[in-house]
Structure 1
Amino acid sequence: MSTLPDPDAEFERRASTLLLDVLIRAALVLALAMLCYQVFSPFLSLMTWAVILAVTLYPLHQSVAARLGGRQGWAATLLVLLGIVVVIVPTAALMSSLGDSVQRLIHDVQNNTLKVPPPRASVAQWPLVGERVLAFWTKAHADLPALVQSMQPKIGNLASAALGFVAGIGGGLLKFLASLAIAGIMMAFGDGGARAIRAIFERVQGKSGADLVDLSTATIRAVAKGVLGVAFLQAIIVGICLLIAGIPWAGVLAVIVLVLGIAQVPALIATLPAIAYLWVSGNYGTGAAILYTVLLVVSGMADNVLKPLMLGRGVDAPMPVILLGALGGMAAAGILGMFVGATLLALGYQLFTGWVATSPEAPQVHTGRTE
Structure 2
Amino acid sequence: MRESLEKRSFLITLAFVSIAFVWVLIPFWGAIFWACVVAVIFYPVYQKLLSKLGDKPNRAALATLFIALIIVIIPSLAIAYTFIQEGVAFYQQLDSGNINAGKLFNDVQTAFPIVNTVLERFGIDASVVRQNISATAISGSKFLAEEAFTVGQNTFAFLLSLALMIYLTFFLLRDGHRLTNLLIQALPLGDEREHKLFSKFVEVARATVKGNLVVAFVQGALGGIIFQLLGIPGALLWGVIMAFLSLIPAVGASLVWLPVSVYLYATGSWIEATILVAYGAIIIGLADNVLRPILVGRDTKLPDYLVLFSTLGGLSIFGITGFVLGPLIAALFLVFWNIFIVEFNSDD
Same-fold call, TM cutoff 0.5? yes
In 2 relative to 1, CA 219–168 (structure 1 residues): closer, same or farther, beyond 3 Å? farther
In 2 relative to 1, CA 81–266 (structure 1 residues): closer, same or farther, beyond 3 Å? closer
Percent identity of equivalent pairs: 20
Give the Cα–Cα distance (whole angstroms) in 1 for the partners of residues 79 and 144 of structure 2.
Answer: 21
In 2 relative to 1, CA 185–136 (structure 1 residues): closer, same or farther, beyond 3 Å? closer
**Equivalent residue in structure 2 for 1:330, among 312, 315, 332:** 315
Structure 1, residues 310-357: CA drift from partner, whole Å, max 9, x if none?
46935322445444443444344432x323432432332233233224
Once the two structures are TM-superposed, the CA of residue 162 in structure 1 deviates from its matched residue by 5.5
Give the Cα–Cα distance (whole angstroms) in 2 for the partners of residues 168 and 326 of structure 1.
Answer: 26
**Equivalent residue in structure 1 for 2:68, among 65, 79, 98:** 79
Structure-1 residue corresponding to 2:210: 225
Mapping 1:79-98, distance limit 5 Å:
79-98=68-87
Give the Cα–Cα distance (whole angstroms) in 1 for the partners of residues 322 and 13 of structure 2.
Answer: 35
Structure 1, residues 264-302: CA drift from partner, whole Å, max 9, x if none?
3364453233345556657x897x889877765534432
Mapping 1:1-371, distance limit 5 Å:
15=1, 21-22=6-7, 24-63=9-48, 71-72=59-60, 73-108=62-97, 115-116=103-104, 117-118=106-107, 119-120=109-110, 121-126=113-118, 132-134=124-126, 136=128, 140=130, 155=135, 159=139, 163=143, 167=147, 182=165, 186=169, 190-204=173-187, 205-208=189-192, 209-226=194-211, 228-238=212-222, 240-241=224-225, 244-245=228-229, 246-248=231-233, 251=237, 254-255=240-241, 258-265=244-251, 267-268=253-254, 270-277=256-263, 281=267, 298-304=283-289, 306-307=291-292, 310=295, 313-335=298-320, 337-359=321-343, 361-362=345-346
Structure-2 residue corresponding to 1:9: none
Once the two structures are TM-superposed, the CA of residue 89 in structure 1 deviates from its matched residue by 1.9
Give the Cα–Cα distance (whole angstroms) in 2 for the partners of residues 53 and 192 of structure 1.
Answer: 14
Give the Cα–Cα distance (whole angstroms) in 2 for the partners of residues 315 and 112 of structure 1.
Answer: 44
SS, match of residue 90 in structure 1: helix
Give the Cα–Cα distance (whole angstroms) in 1 for the partners of residues 51 and 290 of structure 2.
Answer: 27
Give the Cα–Cα distance (whole angstroms) in 1 for the partners of residues 63 and 16 of structure 2.
Answer: 41
Once the two structures are TM-superposed, the CA of residue 223 in structure 1 deviates from its matched residue by 2.5
In 2 relative to 1, CA 215–132 (structure 1 residues): closer, same or farther, beyond 3 Å? closer
Give the Cα–Cα distance (whole angstroms) in 2 for the partners of residues 67 and 243 of structure 1.
Answer: 45
Give the Cα–Cα distance (whole angstroms) in 1 for the partners of residues 227 and 159 of structure 2.
Answer: 23
Structure 1, residues 81-111: CA drift from partner, whole Å, max 9, x if none?
22245433234323322333245335549x9
- The question of whether the paired residues in 2 share the 8 Å contact of 1:80 and 1:184 is answered with no
- The question of whether the paired residues in 1 share the 8 Å contact of 2:311 and 2:322 is answered with yes
Give the alignment's TM-score, normalised by structure 1: 0.67
- The question of whether the paired residues in 2 share the 8 Å contact of 1:326 and 1:340 is answered with yes
Structure 1 unmatched runs, 5+: 1-14, 141-146, 364-371
**Bigger mean CA deviation after superposition, 166-175 or 63-72:** 166-175
Once the two structures are TM-superposed, the CA of residue 248 in structure 1 deviates from its matched residue by 4.4
In 2 relative to 1, CA 233–259 (structure 1 residues): closer, same or farther, beyond 3 Å? same
Give the Cα–Cα distance (whole angstroms) in 1 for the partners of residues 64 and 216 of structure 2.
Answer: 23
In 2 relative to 1, CA 115–267 (structure 1 residues): closer, same or farther, beyond 3 Å? closer
Aligned length: 331
- The question of whether the paired residues in 1 share the 8 Å contact of 2:264 and 2:270 is answered with no
SS, match of residue 300 in structure 2: coil
Give the Cα–Cα distance (whole angstroms) in 1 for the partners of residues 43 and 149 of structure 2.
Answer: 27
- The question of whether the paired residues in 1 share the 8 Å contact of 2:201 and 2:328 is answered with no
Give the Cα–Cα distance (whole angstroms) in 1 for the partners of residues 318 and 249 of structure 2.
Answer: 19
SS, match of residue 190 in structure 2: helix
Tell me which protein shows more helix as a share of its residues: 2
